[in-house]
Amino acid sequence: MAQVQRMSRLMVKTLRDDPADAETLNHKLLVRAGYVRRNAAGIWTWLPLGKKVLDNITRVIREEMDAIGAQEVLLPALLPKEPYEASARWDEYGDQLFRLKDRKGGEYLLGPTHEEIFTLVVKDQVTSYKDLPVMLYQIQTKYRDEARPRAGVLRGREFQMKDSYSFDTTDEGLAESYRLHREAYQKIFARLGLDHRIVSAVSGAMGGSASEEFLAPAPAGEDTFADCPNCDYAANTEAVTFPLKPVEGAEHPAVEELDTPDTPTIETLAEHLGVPASATLKNLLVKVDGEIVAVGVPGDREVDLGKLGEHLAPAVVELVTAEDFTGRADLVRGYVGPQGLEKVRYLADPRVAPGTSWITGANKEGKHARNVVAGRDFEVDQYLDVVVVEEGDPCPKCGTGLKLDRAIEIGHIFQLGRKYADTFQLDVLGQNGKPVRVTMGSYGIGVSRAVAALAEQTADEQGLCWPKEIAPADVHVVAAGKALQTELALEVAETLGAAGVRVLVDDRAGVSPGVKFTDAELIGVPKILVAGRRAGDRVLELKDRRTGEREELTVDEAIARLSE
Amino acid sequence: MAQVQRMSRLMVKTLRDDPADAETLNHKLLVRAGYVRRNAAGIWTWLPLGKKVLDNITRVIREEMDAIGAQEVLLPALLPKEPYEASARWDEYGDQLFRLKDRKGGEYLLGPTHEEIFTLVVKDQVTSYKDLPVMLYQIQTKYRDEARPRAGVLRGREFQMKDSYSFDTTDEGLAESYRLHREAYQKIFARLGLDHRIVSAVSGAMGGSASEEFLAPAPAGEDTFADCPNCDYAANTEAVTFPLKPVEGAEHPAVEELDTPDTPTIETLAEHLGVPASATLKNLLVKVDGEIVAVGVPGDREVDLGKLGEHLAPAVVELVTAEDFTGRADLVRGYVGPQGLEKVRYLADPRVAPGTSWITGANKEGKHARNVVAGRDFEVDQYLDVVVVEEGDPCPKCGTGLKLDRAIEIGHIFQLGRKYADTFQLDVLGQNGKPVRVTMGSYGIGVSRAVAALAEQTADEQGLCWPKEIAPADVHVVAAGKALQTELALEVAETLGAAGVRVLVDDRAGVSPGVKFTDAELIGVPKILVAGRRAGDRVLELKDRRTGEREELTVDEAIARLSE
């Protein structure tokens, strides 16, 4: 039988004003409506109402994970250092990792994600191809020492996550486990009522569908994604590609050197020559594993060093410093051009396609050159998508100008392949009696983050406004204040509760009807049933929290309607 | 609808041999049956079967906590140092506490228990006496850096706990919240099928019912409790009291000094004089907040320094060192007697009652005295129960000789009073408009520990043997091996599953019937249903895991019986 929660006993204290440190809608409303309370930066308590919402979300996730045959386990959060040293993530995580020592000096971490430990558990439990495939999941507290925990529970340092891992012997098996998760995630987010987009998380060059993100569009989101208004293309901005289209048949004049004193930047150059920055070619020098490499992009575009780093990983990319120019007469700072760089590897954005013509450095102090043509005057060693994507960039699929939107990452599915299985030698005995290396997938849903995303997407000016399956109750019964009204409210609440309806009933004494109505709007239960003016006639007012529609119903009608 | 779990797909690997490091039954069996897996000392993974048992226990706890009106919340495990510094527990916990720093050098701990944080949360959420009483609970991961994590999940360093806290304005209110918890705990442990005793956790002198422990008798237990075979008395050995009974009317000869060279210990003295050690009075010197104090107990009894410390807290008790005797001619090491100690405070066990006569030190090197009578030759400043309780000590209630038994502490209920409310100034506005200091209770159940306790109490030689409500399934269907048997097993499993019965079905191919039967006994589901020899006639064998009783049933009979 569903519980009847009485506001007079429930620990919920609503606030009229936004907390001083709150910038985002979910932070303001979840605190004001008494769902969460801050304990420290990025560390939160889930109060009774918040815990119910969290539980509703985990129930939906659990049901859908069970439905695809994933098995629930619970791994520790306090983890020994060694496996994370083996995978190199002990160092790679940098300051993001909470590290600690036990009484004997043994080193530990608080798990940010559990690929290493799941790999070891499965290595211990699974011996034959017959034991696979296996999909395991847990709903667990995770830790990341974010530099700037923000936006309430959206980006906490301690947070709830559902993480799952698949183990298969073949690439086809991994693709199937990935597909099952993708479909389960679509069902989960649909049931949660979360508007979401599935976007490619890595560029096509790196393997297409191997990784996708589930993004919930919201202004408070920290991710930007590109969305095609014409076709179904959507991608993390880091994954957007630009097609390489060589320009053929154009006649270009020969290279001409220009006197351009004091123009070491694109801005000064474009102004001096009276051309748009997009006509110039910017050549960024970086060190890749210590070797100087040039990266060419149109003068009006920025290089995304993160993207560049991902393309070149595991090589380490650094910016050049003044010292790197010592003894390099071929590198004239501010006046570099690809046509004179025989000794330097040249990477370029696909916009610098063969046949395109540019104004660029002449490799002499104070000089630039024009009519420098890609493929004629210089060769590109490798084309890479490294520019920061901008609104209006063409859709890689249909060419329409892309829209850029803010979103909250609520899920991520990822074909890991054999990276962790290689690290920990996770093999099973194959059908032919020989060991087979296992291939893995990893899949996450931010559970506490989903609460924030839902709040962002569904709230309105009055407050929170939960979808039915996620709301802390199905109906919020308000007793306007008089004894008769309270009696009726409690009677109806009990009847509804007995019928399996989850009821929150505001039976507080000494609280004005106005405050109760405002609180009901703020708390955001989908239906509000008021025992008010016509309580004496056993007539109640039913209000839809989202639409604001009201109607008067008799007690019997109200019970019939809400028990449906 | 209940799930049907197929062994062919479930990640469960049983072991024939006990793990090398396992000493206790629960550790051996939970590992061998594939319920848990060790990740590091005292840090465990709950595998699919173990997670189900854990979930069944938390469900029972949750239902009973909700039934008494406690509200579920979820607090963080990563906690800032400051509140624990305010309560002094940051230091008091010593090495038991996992401490860590974040990227900015801020100090944190992993919560071992949450009194401080709950007090702060309530201080923030509750303002008036009208908001109280409030009972809050959480089921959460806790951390204690045990010096010797042992016995599998019985004493982990990361473990699951249900902790709850009550907040009242009056002592009567606290007593009622305590009573509600006590009754809820009795219901919980009864539903879990845990044989348990409720014992006083502190001596009567400190406030009687203010703290009780729920102990599950088991040889693997780390606690010893005293149990009266005659009446209903049971207590933690630290809480057992000895009645103070003055001896009246006895005529004692005058004190006589004895020459007892080289008898600085009770053993050497008793041997020299040819008397039992119990005839002598041992005087232990300790420093209490730096002041030397003597503690008198019969020569055959040991002083429990922990008990002494608890009696004298917050004073700090230390043993004396050789240096402490410097300049103290009144203290003759090995020959101390209370009759010459005017300057020293004298504490004694109630066995040293007024009118009892003793052989004790004569405060001279190599000399003892006999006929030294309490109340005649020396005064006891304070009587305290400080001796280690022994089997056969009299029951404080009826005088019968006590039994000492080993047990696992599975629950603890505690009237905290105003300790934390004082520390954090937790007041609410009283009925008269003046602030009222809140009084608190704290109540814990070791959830992962309950799994270990249940395993210890219910297992037999064949393996685990769960009570129905806690078992990972209601019935374990075994397909003996042939295609016909597997078909029947799966058919019955599906029918049972559809009827709401939780089914584990062993449909593994290439596993011998013997191994399957052994695994079923080891895993310990209450009913085992075998599709074997008579599968062709649609006849199955139903075995009761605990009693071993077997009977043949038709498919319809088996389904009817198990769906009851």
For B175-210, how does the pLDDT look when each residue is reduced to its tens digit (9 = 90+)? 999 999 999 999 999 999 999 999 888 644 434 458
Q: Which residue has the tokens 């490294």?
A: A386
Nearest by Cα to B377 from B357, B397, B392:
B357
Q: Which amino acid is at B49?
A: L
Q: Do B66 and A110 touch (CB under 8 A)?
A: no
Question: Sign of the CA dihedral B181, B135, B130, A465?
Answer: negative
Nearest by Cα to B384 from B434, B349, B421:
B349
- CA A485 – CA A517 distance, rounded (Å): 14
The 3-class SS string of B33-68 reads CCCEEEEECCEEEECHHHHHHHHHHHHHHHHHHHHC
Q: How far apart are the first and last CA of chain B?
A: 15
Helix (H) or strand (E) holding A449: helix A447-458
pLDDT digits (tens, 9 = 90+) for A528-561: 999 999 999 999 999 999 999 999 999 999 999 9
**Token pair for B34:** 């594939």
Residues 6+ apart with CB under 8 A from A277: A266, A267, A270, A298, A299, A300
**Token pair for B94:** 């010593």
This complex has an ipTM of 0.87
Q: Do A145 and B66 touch (CB under 8 A)?
A: no
Q: Do B73 and A110 touch (CB under 8 A)?
A: no
For residue B358, list its beta bridge partners.
B372
Say if CB A12 and CB A30 are below 8 A apart: no
pLDDT digits (tens, 9 = 90+) for B149-183: 877 888 899 999 999 999 999 999 999 999 999 99
Measured between beta carbons, the chain A residues lying within 8 angstroms of B47 are 73, 121, 125
Q: Do A11 and B66 touch (CB under 8 A)?
A: no
Mutation for A interface: B97, B102, B140, B447, most A CBs within 10 A: B102
pLDDT digits (tens, 9 = 90+) for A84-139: 999 999 998 899 999 999 999 999 999 999 999 999 999 999 999 999 999 999 99
- CA A431 – CA A437 distance, rounded (Å): 12
Instruction: From residue B152, give the alpha-carbon distance in Å to each of A131, B32, B448, B457.
Output: 26, 12, 10, 15
Say if CB A308 and CB A284 are below 8 A apart: no
Q: Which of A266-275, B464-473, B545-554 has the lowest mean pLDDT?
A: A266-275
- CA A12 – CA A33 distance, rounded (Å): 8
Question: Residue A161 pLDDT > 50, yes or no?
Answer: yes
Q: Do B98 and A77 touch (CB under 8 A)?
A: no
CA A354 from chain centre, in angstroms, equals 36
Task: Return the pLDDT at B310.
Answer: 80
Q: Which residue has the tokens 């020293």?
A: B344
For residue A44, list its beta bridge partners.
A38
Measured between beta carbons, the chain B residues lying within 8 angstroms of A120 are 39
Residues 6+ apart with CB under 8 A from A244: A350, A353, A383
Beta-sheet pairing, A357-361 with A367-373: antiparallel
Helix (H) or strand (E) holding B543: strand B539-544
pLDDT band at B2 (very low <50, low <70, confident <90, very high): low
Nearest by Cα to A95 from A160, A144, A164:
A144
Residues 6+ apart with CB under 8 A from B487: none
| Residue A122 burial (CB count, 10 A) | 23
Nearest by Cα to A166 from A126, A204, A203:
A126
- CA A160 – CA A139 distance, rounded (Å): 7
Q: Do A11 and B51 touch (CB under 8 A)?
A: no
Beta-sheet pairing, A345-348 with A382-383: parallel
Name which of A10, A45, A100 is nearest B121 (Cβ-Cβ): A45
Say if CB A170 and CB A462 are below 8 A apart: no
Q: What average pLDDT does range B311-327 have in this prediction? A: 84
Name which of B47, B79, B102 is nearest A39 (Cβ-Cβ): B79
Mutation for B interface: A6, A31, A44, A45, most B CBs within 10 A: A45
pLDDT digits (tens, 9 = 90+) for B301-310: 999 888 888 8
**Token pair for A545:** 């929290």
Task: Return the pLDDT at A2.
Answer: 58
Mutation for A interface: B66, B68, B71, most A CBs within 10 A: B71
Q: What average pLDDT does range A508-518 have in this prediction? A: 94
Measured between beta carbons, the chain B residues lying within 8 angstroms of A131 are 11
Instruction: From residue A232, give the alpha-carbon distance in Å to each of A223, A229, A243, A402, B531.
Output: 19, 8, 17, 11, 53
State yes or no: cis peptide before A314, omega within 30 of 0.
yes
Name which of A80, A99, A106 is nearest B39 (Cβ-Cβ): A80
- CA B544 – CA A70 distance, rounded (Å): 30
pLDDT digits (tens, 9 = 90+) for A240-249: 888 888 988 8
- CA A145 – CA A161 distance, rounded (Å): 15
Q: What are phi and psi of B30, to 5 degrees?
A: -65, -35
Q: What average pLDDT does range A361-384 have in this prediction? A: 91
Name which of A9, A73, A145 is nearest B69 (Cβ-Cβ): A9
Nearest by Cα to B78 from A494, A174, A159:
A159
Question: Residue B43 pLDDT > 50, yes or no?
Answer: yes
Task: Return the pLDDT at B1.
Answer: 45
> Could you give the angle at the alpha carbon of B545 between the alpha carbons of B543 and B546, nearest 5°?
125
Å between A71 CA and nearest CA of chain B: 6
Say if CB A241 and CB A389 are below 8 A apart: no
Å between A493 CA and nearest CA of chain B: 16
Mutation for A interface: B66, B108, B157, B429, most A CBs within 10 A: B108
Say if CB A515 and CB A500 are below 8 A apart: no
Å between B358 CA and nearest CA of chain A: 46
pLDDT band at A490 (very low <50, low <70, confident <90, very high): very high
Question: Residue B351 pLDDT > 50, yes or no?
Answer: yes
Q: Which domains does chain B have, with CATH numbers?
A: 25-240+403-455 (3.30.930.10), 256-383 (3.90.960.10), 473-562 (3.40.50.800)
Q: Do B141 and A143 touch (CB under 8 A)?
A: no
Say if CB A478 and CB A485 are below 8 A apart: no
Say if CB A548 and CB A497 are below 8 A apart: no
Question: Sign of the CA dihedral B93, B95, B97, B103?
Answer: positive
Q: What average pLDDT does range B256-282 have in this prediction? A: 89
Q: How many CA atoms lie within 13 A of B14 on its CB side?
A: 20
For residue A143, list its beta bridge partners.
A158
Report chain A's mean pLDDT, rounded to a whole number.
Answer: 92
How many residues make up chain B in this entry?
564
Work out how many CB contacts closer than 8 A connect A with B. 162
Residue B150 is classified by DSSP as B
Say if CB B471 and CB B54 are below 8 A apart: no
Question: Residue A174 pLDDT > 60, yes or no?
Answer: yes
What's the alpha-carbon Rg for chain B, to the nearest Å?
A: 30
Question: Residue A327 pLDDT > 90, yes or no?
Answer: no
Q: Which residue has the tokens 């088996």?
A: B558
Measured between beta carbons, the chain A residues lying within 8 angstroms of B122 are 11
Task: Return the pLDDT at A210.
Answer: 84
Environment class of B244 (CB within 10 Å of its CB; exposed 0-12, middle 13-18, buried 19+)? middle
Q: Do B98 and A100 touch (CB under 8 A)?
A: yes
Residue B84 is classified by DSSP as H
How would DSSP label each residue in A271-322?
HHHT--GGGBEEEEEEEETTEEEEEEEETT--B-HHHHHHHHTTSPEEE--G
Measured between beta carbons, the chain A residues lying within 8 angstroms of B141 are 77, 141
Task: Report the share of chain B in percent with pLDDT over 90.
Answer: 75
Q: Do A13 and B126 touch (CB under 8 A)?
A: yes
Instruction: From residue B4, give the alpha-carbon distance in Å to each of A65, B135, B504, B524.
Output: 15, 37, 6, 17
Say if CB B341 and CB B330 are below 8 A apart: yes
Q: Do A47 and B73 touch (CB under 8 A)?
A: yes
Chain B residue closest in CA terms to A33: B125
Helix (H) or strand (E) holding B110: strand B107-110
Measured between beta carbons, the chain B residues lying within 8 angstroms of A4 are none
User: Interhelix angle for B483-498 vs B555-562, to 10°?
Assistant: 40
**Token pair for B297:** 């107990």
Q: Which of A286-295, B243-252, B420-429 has the lowest mean pLDDT?
A: B243-252
> Could you give the angle at the alpha carbon of A91 between the alpha carbons of A90 and A92, nearest 5°?
100
- CA A396 – CA B500 distance, rounded (Å): 51
Environment class of A92 (CB within 10 Å of its CB; exposed 0-12, middle 13-18, buried 19+)? exposed
Name which of A39, A131, A134 is nearest B80 (Cβ-Cβ): A39
Measured between beta carbons, the chain A residues lying within 8 angstroms of B102 are 98, 145, 157
Question: Residue A209 pLDDT > 60, yes or no?
Answer: no
- CA B468 – CA B466 distance, rounded (Å): 6
Question: Residue A19 pLDDT > 90, yes or no?
Answer: no
Task: Report the share of chain A in percent with pLDDT over 70.
Answer: 98
Task: Return the pLDDT at A203.
Answer: 46
Q: Higher model confidence: residue B37 or residue A334?
A: B37
Å between B14 CA and nearest CA of chain A: 9
Task: Return the pLDDT at B209.
Answer: 52
Q: What average pLDDT does range B28-57 have in this prediction? A: 96
Name which of B80, B131, B141 is nearest A77 (Cβ-Cβ): B141
**Token pair for A74:** 């619970």
Mutation for B interface: A95, A118, A125, A146, most B CBs within 10 A: A125
Name which of B40, B47, B80 is nearest A80 (Cβ-Cβ): B40
Q: What average pLDDT does range A447-461 have in this prediction? A: 94
Name which of B47, B76, B136 is nearest A158 (Cβ-Cβ): B76
Q: Do B125 and A510 touch (CB under 8 A)?
A: no
User: Interhelix angle for A483-498 vs A555-562, to 10°?
Assistant: 40
